[in-house]
Copies of this chain bind each other. A is one copy, B any other.
Amino acid sequence: MQITRAGEYAIMGATCLARRGLGKAVMIHEVCKEEHIPRSFLAKIFQALTKAGIVRSQRGIRGGFTLARPSAEITVLEVLEAIEGKLAFDRRLQEPASCHDTHACTLCDLFTEAQHRVREIMGSTTLADLTRPKAEVMKRIQGGNLHNGNGPRARALQTI
């Protein structure tokens, strides 16, 4: 019941890029130093994020990584699932065949709801949110007003 190190590093790395702004290429080395992540491991993670269209890479001298889109349009859920695959609380929710009691399994319902709650908050929090001052973030997260609004946050939520 934990997210993996790779998933955690992905969020940290992407957030680090978010803090630098959209245009500037940041070398993997800098991100590692700042976030205390092993270099070659992060390289691998950023590769995956590149394929997922979350970051953009630039090879050669003066190369590095940038976010592919504004940080306010990238959700934490998106980053996490790019690395770990679709978030599933239990194997039942991945391969429904593994539940024999297919007709009316209340446990499946419980797991589905738990998973939904996690996806909801992860999907409504963007990288931009993580770069904001702590007090603001706390207020937003615990405020519970994740459902309303028309900003990028609401748009992001639609894809869940």
A residues with a Cβ closer than 8 A to B are: 1-5, 7-8, 11-12, 15, 36, 76, 84, 87-92, 100, 104-107, 109-110, 113-114, 117-118, 121-122, 125, 129-134, 137-138, 141-142
Contacts and interface: CB of A to CB of B under 8 A. Distances in A.
Contacts of A131: 106
A130 B118 contact: no
- Smallest CB-CB A-B distances: 8 pairs: A104-B134, A117-B117, A106-B137, A106-B130, A113-B141, A114-B118, A1-B3, A114-B121
A50 to B, nearest CB: 21
Nearest to A133: B104
Instruction: Give how many copies assemble into the complex.
Output: 2
B141 A109 contact: yes
Given A106-B129, A106-B132, A118-B118, 11 more contacts: A1-B1, A1-B3, A1-B4, A1-B7, A1-B87, A5-B91, A15-B107, A104-B134, A106-B137, A114-B121, A114-B122
B114 A138 contact: no
